[in-house]
Amino acid sequence: MRKHILTLMAYSSLLFVSFGVGGCSSEIGRTVFDTDVSCLRKQMAGPMFLSFPIAANTCQRITGDGFLLARFVSKKKPGVPIPLDLRGAPDLQKLAEKYNYSYIR
């Protein structure tokens, strides 16, 4: 019985990881291995065709000492947006300037 429970736990954790990491749809938002540039390009491409501000809000990371949703949980030290890393993407840099988003050149 214990062996079956351990096997079930192993398979369920693999399934969870595969869904969490293997997102290939732009509707999911930022995935684990996305860079700022790849995330923005994916969000602005089809089928959603999001505008730059909406895509940037989807892709931008927030500080918070590595704690998920730290921006909303911590009252003392709320998270702040991390500047988008747009090195090597002059078209996205122009959009970031146009919409007043902080970024790294």
What is the model's pTM?
0.64
Which one has a higher pLDDT value, 101 or 76? 101
**15-35 pLDDT, tens per residue?**
454 444 445 555 677 788 889
Q: In the predicted model, is pLDDT for residue 68 greater than 90?
A: no
E strands, the chain, where?
84-85, 103-104
Query: What is the per-residue burial (b if ≥16 Cβ within 10 Å, else e) of 2-38?
Result: eeeeeeeeeeeeeeeeeeeeebeebeeebbeebbbbe
**32-67 pLDDT, tens per residue?**
888 999 999 999 887 778 899 999 988 888 876 555
